[in-house]
Amino acid sequence: MTPAATPDAKVDWDELRAVAREAMSHAYAPYSGYPVGVAALVDDGRTVSGCNVENASYGLGLCAECGLVSELQRTGGGRLTHFTCVDGRGEILVPCGRCRQLLYEFGGAGLLLETPAGILPLAEMLPQAFGPDHLTK
């Protein structure tokens, strides 16, 4: 287990999941019928969240993580430390591949994700990630 994946007793995943479920209740998903909610802790103690917002032009739909990173930036930036995602039943859901990349930008390899397989660092969900460091080499 990497140091970043060490369970953090101070983090209440049930509470974070409750925030994700509340966000999911605001989803706009008339085309897929698949509402999603996400929530994350920020390194300064803030909590940010998001829901998916679809569009009649199907390909333009926004994943819930888009709303989350937008809120993160709008409310002061910072680094994501803990993240969870739920489906329309409130069950834990893995973020899609594109959204793992969104999360990598703002949380990096050590961001802890709640997944159906337990708490995992993003390094395990997006191995050998391309990221900001590559652009400075």
Q: What is the binding site for ligand THU (CB under 6 A)?
A: 29, 32, 34, 36, 52, 54, 61, 63-65, 85, 95-96, 99
**What Cα–Cα distance (Å) separates residue 54 from each residue in 31, 40, 96, 134, 137?**
7, 21, 15, 32, 37
Residue number with CB closer to ligand THU (47 or 135):
47
Q: How far is the CB of 86 from ligand THU (least distance, A)?
A: 10
Which residues are registered as beta bridge partners of 43?
A: none
Catalytic annotation present for 65: yes
Is residue 54 within 8 Å of residue 64, measured between CB atoms? no
User: What is the C-alpha separation between 46 and 99, in angstroms, rounded?
Assistant: 20
Q: How far is the CB of 39 from ligand THU (least distance, A)?
A: 13
User: What is the C-alpha separation between 65 and 89, in angstroms, rounded?
Assistant: 18
Residue number with CB closer to ligand THU (3 or 127):
127
Residue number with CB closer to ligand THU (6 or 55):
55
Q: How far is the CB of 123 from ligand THU (least distance, A)?
A: 18
